[in-house]
Amino acid sequence: MAELMQALRGIRREAIARLLLAEILRLAEREGILEQMRKHSPFSSERLGEALRAELGYRLAAGNRWRMMSVLLDLLSECGWLRQENGMWLWNRESMRTIPASSIPTIDDEAAQAATDAQYLFFRECLEFVPAYLRGGGPSVLFDEKHIMAWERFLGCTEFRICRSLLLELMGIESYPSFRLLDLCHGPGWGLEAALSRSPAIQITALDFTDAFSHKARERADCVQTRNRRMGYPVSPIIWIGPDRWKGFGDSLPFPDASFEAVLFSCGDPYVPQSQRGTVYREIGRVLAPEGKLGILTRCHPDTAARHVPSFWLRISALAHDFAESVCQGWEGFSDAEENIRVFSDVGFEGGVASLGGMNFLESSLWVLKKRRYHG
């Protein structure tokens, strides 16, 4: 674990967050969003929405577009350019004319390397679609054949790969005598690769609502299993299940009760519809054996008290990420940590890593939950 934590600290998170923040600010300035905020300050959220519809042609009532504006308000507030008083937003006077120069990173070695990060490049591509999307265009990044490589690079970025390995270690998957794992929404197969590399004899069921990633995921899993065979490890065949048996969140998982000792859910939580979160996690709990583990890789919406997400640049990362990925098909956004705790507890989960602070750590990016033996 120490090596993984050291590798995670080596990622240029602040530089990536600064670059992405600068991109969003430039976009908001070009679009005239910041000008509307400056012009109407102090303003209510409703008044801003009216101005953006009238002046910029935004169609904020449809889909998650108004939520995008709420996230942008939170981002500007986090940076100190907006503040909220008595339900009204005020633009700080020192920010009335231009974007603060401090928001734009200097061109140094760290910034240059961060600019090549797969996560940053994915978000920058997403931001190109934001103007059309806010004016009513459809989602621009889909879960289909056309966008396979975009998801491949993004979901396989260095930060996510390290976090998956750390999550699997925290789940303690090697400690199970008979280990059955469900990789929920397997995508391009990065989670499969991490699990098979850590536990060659693992019995994996790989599930997704689309066949778009099936070839890439099978190829990645086959590569690891071939290596494991050559090293003399026992290898179990992977069970693949696609949209013919599971249509996505809200559909029952096609397994009997207590089918798995663990479920890996990597980067899929923000796509669970808010109205269905309880139903979806109750269904995950149903297919887990008592005291089985659920590992979730996500981010959380920064809490006002900075108790769950205290670090400034991780708060900026979460908000900027939320805003950018909103143009992707099915994006619902990051949930509040307290709401997560309530939902998980209500459906029968408890913290599985008490020594690391209960249900979650890494500022609510990794969640390790255990199904309660008795729940009723």
Strands 288-297 and 366-371: antiparallel
Select from 256, 255, 253, 259 the least CA-distant residue to 280: 253
- Residue 367 backbone dihedrals phi, psi, to 5 degrees: -120, 130
As a whole number, mean pLDDT of residues 191-215 equals 96
Look up residue 323 and give its two tokens.
């805003």
pLDDT, position 86:
92
Who's near 116: CB < 8 A, 6+ residues apart? none
**Averaged over 163-181, what is the pLDDT?**
85
Q: Please choose, from the candidates 3, 104, 97, 107, the residue with its C-alpha nearest in 3D space to the C-alpha of residue 41.
A: 97
pLDDT at 355: 42
Residue extents of the structural domains in the chain: 2-128, 152-300+335-371
- Average pLDDT estimate for 8-37: 87
Query: Cβ(38)–Cβ(96) under 8 Å?
Result: yes
* Lowest model confidence (mean pLDDT) among 2-16, 71-85, 288-302, 359-373: 2-16
According to the model, what pLDDT value does residue 362 have?
85
Q: Please tell me what DSSP assigns to residue 20.
A: H
353 vs 367: CA distance, rounded Å = 9
Instruction: Give the range among 175-179, 214-218, 256-260, 272-276 with minimum mean pLDDT.
Output: 175-179
Distances in Å between the Cα of 271 and the Cα atoms of 67, 131, 299, 309, 322 are 14, 22, 12, 20, 11
Specify the DSSP element, H or E, that contains 53.
Answer: helix 45-56
DSSP code of residue 28: H
Q: What are phi and psi of 244, to 5 degrees?
A: -70, -20
Residue 162 contacts by C-beta under 8 Å, 6 or more apart in sequence?
A: 4, 7, 8, 11
What is the residue-averaged pLDDT of the chain? Answer: 90
Residue 116: the pLDDT is: 83
Q: Where are the extended beta strands (E) located within 155-208?
A: 180-184, 203-207
The angle at the Cα of 253, spanning 248 to 257, to the nearest 5 degrees, equals 165
239-246: long-range pairs with CB below 8 Å, 24+: 239/204, 239/205, 239/206, 240/206, 240/214, 241/205, 241/206, 241/207, 241/208, 242/207, 242/208, 242/209, 242/210, 242/211, 242/214, 243/208, 243/209, 243/210, 243/211, 246/207, 246/208, 246/209
Q: Left if phi > 0, otherwise alpha if psi is -120 to 50, otherwise beta: which for 92?
A: beta
> Could you tell me the CA-to-CA distances from 246 to 121, 206, 231, 243, 251 in Å, in that order?
31, 11, 35, 5, 7
pLDDT confidence bin for 177, thresholds 50/70/90: low
pLDDT score for 111: 59
* CATH topology classification for 152-300+335-371: Rossmann fold (3.40.50)
Distance, in Å, from the CA atom of 150 to the CA atom of 131, rounded to the nearest integer, reads 20
Whether residue 297 contacts residue 160, with contact meaning beta carbons closer than 8 Å, is answered with yes
Residues 313-371 pLDDT 10s: 999 999 999 999 999 999 999 999 999 999 999 999 998 554 444 567 788 999 999 99
- Determine what percent of the chain is predicted with pLDDT higher than 90: 80
Using a cut of 0.85, tell me whether the model's pTM lies above it: yes
Q: What is the pLDDT of residues 32-90, one digit of tens each?
A: 999 999 999 999 999 999 999 999 999 999 999 999 999 999 999 999 899 999 999 99
In the predicted model, is pLDDT for residue 96 greater than 50? no
The residue-averaged pLDDT of 228-245 equals 96
In terms of pLDDT, which residue wins out, 31 or 363?
31
C-alpha separations of 120 from 7, 235, 369 in Å: 18, 36, 29
Coil, helix or strand for 232? coil
